[in-house]
């Protein structure tokens, strides 16, 4: 029986068809008979054939991430840990140039309003956290042996180093300045930078990235480069990386909390780190210094510094044992009061499949509020990350 169409199905991009097929199995044969006849053939291999005929390299991927926390004070919480699904593609243009793209959305199947504070990455932009879908990444660009140029919402130059220690499964990522002021770093440009334009050049012994954000969201907006940032990563020997990055906001305002998604005046941050990774050990340390980049529980922006450590030992093929700390401390004129983030974090994980895992993790917390009172107690957590890709 011929499928009924209200528009030209043959004009639909093959990569989009694969994305729909991946998340709604069984419907593709009826909706797209010209691509997937009702024959019972293997859908994954058939979809790859479609993309190969289109002359494209496309990956469909996703990660379902859920965790449960038990605070030492008695509170419990179930949270979606930034589940996501996405598509990456590359199309040859000619003469060594490829057009590239990535689209990644967060999927919030469990409400994230719990009494327990988990990781520093909220999983989406400010104001989106409790939405079913959140904007994580979305960019297009061109790459060649001369480097890569992209524009859209993408991982920032600052996160090239600041994101190294965001490797814990349940907690972490609170002291590097990557996820500034409790956001995903979209506006400050230090995390998943929105409205950004990047140039990247990855070489054998070093990598560089330059980034600007152009937008008109405040009266302080400039004609060019409302924010700018740079990163440099040295790779002197196999498994070792040493890097530094800088991020500067130029269009900030004095009271950004009065207007949603506005940058803070004088926001800038530096981060440096070292990352050693081999078959059995991963050791990472980052140190950050910042101005008007973080805020306390009262909404006061402050200057300060942060330290993060992540150590991992890989036992046999499947087991991972890890630990470290996060430490964030205000400095200067006392705007942050006695606020601080300070905790030890350790856990273990069992990895299965490509990179799926189950884990247990504990945070021993000594963090303080602005007035010096204890802000949160320790937490025991467990969870599962289920990864998939085509």
Q: Which DSSP helix (H) or strand (E) runs through 246?
A: strand 240-249
Q: Whole-angstrom Cα distance, residue 42 to residue 390?
A: 13
Q: pLDDT digit string (tens) for 81-127?
A: 888 999 999 999 999 999 999 999 988 777 656 656 677 777 666 66
Residue 252: its pLDDT value, please?
94
Residue 16: its pLDDT value, please?
46
Q: Whole-angstrom Cα distance, residue 174 to residue 375?
A: 14
Residue 171 Ramachandran class (φ > 0 left, ψ -120 to 50 alpha, else beta):
beta
Q: How far is CA 307 from the centre of its chain?
A: 19
Greater model confidence, 97 or 44: 97
User: Is the four-CA dihedral 35, 24, 8, 134 of positive or negative sign?
Assistant: negative
Residue 123: its pLDDT value, please?
65
pLDDT grade, residue 15 (50/70/90)? Answer: very low
Q: Whole-angstrom Cα distance, residue 54 to residue 214?
A: 34
User: Is the four-CA dihedral 108, 112, 117, 121 of positive or negative sign?
Assistant: positive
Q: Whole-angstrom Cα distance, residue 40 to residue 57?
A: 24
pLDDT grade, residue 330 (50/70/90)? Answer: very high
Q: pLDDT digit string (tens) for 198-223?
A: 999 999 999 999 999 999 888 888 88
Ordered domains of the chain (ranges, CATH): 1-55 (no CATH), 56-389 (2.40.160.10)
Q: pLDDT digit string (tens) for 332-386?
A: 778 899 999 999 999 999 999 888 999 999 999 999 999 999 998 899 999 999 9
Residue 57: its pLDDT value, please?
67
Query: Average of pLDDT values for 139-164?
Result: 97
Query: Average of pLDDT values for 315-335?
Result: 93
């Amino acid at each position: 029986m011929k499928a009924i169409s209200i528009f030209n199905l043959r004009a639909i991009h093959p990569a989009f068809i694969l994305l729909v097929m991946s998340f709604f199995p069984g419907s593709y044969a009826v909706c797209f008979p010209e691509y997937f006849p009702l024959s019972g053939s293997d859908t994954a291999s058939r979809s790859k054939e479609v993309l190969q005929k289109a002359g494209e390299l496309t990956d469909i991927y996703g990660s379902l991430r859920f965790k449960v926390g038990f605070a030492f004070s008695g509170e419990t919480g179930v949270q979606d840990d930034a589940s996501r699904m996405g598509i990456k593609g590359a199309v040859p243009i000619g003469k060594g140039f490829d057009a590239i793209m990535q689209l990644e959305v967060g999927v919030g199947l469990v409400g994230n309003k719990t009494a327990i504070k988990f990781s520093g990455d909220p999983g989406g932009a400010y104001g989106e956290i409790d939405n079913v879908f959140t904007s994580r990444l979305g960019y297009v660009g061109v790459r060649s042996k001369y480097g890569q140029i992209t524009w859209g919402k993408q991982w920032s130059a600052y996160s090239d180093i600041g994101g190294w220690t965001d490797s814990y499964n349940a907690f972490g990522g609170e002291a590097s300045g990557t996820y500034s002021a409790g956001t995903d770093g979209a506006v400050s440009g230090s995390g998943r930078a929105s409205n950004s334009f990047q140039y990247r050049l990855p070489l054998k012994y070093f990598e560089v990235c330059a980034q600007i954000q152009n937008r008109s969201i405040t009266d302080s907006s400039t004609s060019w480069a409302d924010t700018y940032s740079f990163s440099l990563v040295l790779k002197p020997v196999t498994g070792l990386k040493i890097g530094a990055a800088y991020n500067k906001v130029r269009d900030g305002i004095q009271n950004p909390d009065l207007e949603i998604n506005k940058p803070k005046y004088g926001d800038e941050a530096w981060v440096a780190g070292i990352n050693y990774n081999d078959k059995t050990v991963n050791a990472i340390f980052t140190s950050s210094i910042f101005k008007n980049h973080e805020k306390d529980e009262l909404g006061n922006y402050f200057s300060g510094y942060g330290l993060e450590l992540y150590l991992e030992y890989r036992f046999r093929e499947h087991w991972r044992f890890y630990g470290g700390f996060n430490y964030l401390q205000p400095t200067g004129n006392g705007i942050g009061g006695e606020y601080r983030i300070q905790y030890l974090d350790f856990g273990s994980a069992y990895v299965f499949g490509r990179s799926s895992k189950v884990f247990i993790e504990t945070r021993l917390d000594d963090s303080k509020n602005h007035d010096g009172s204890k802000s949160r107690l320790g937490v025991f957590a467990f969870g599962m990350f289920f990864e998939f890709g085509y």
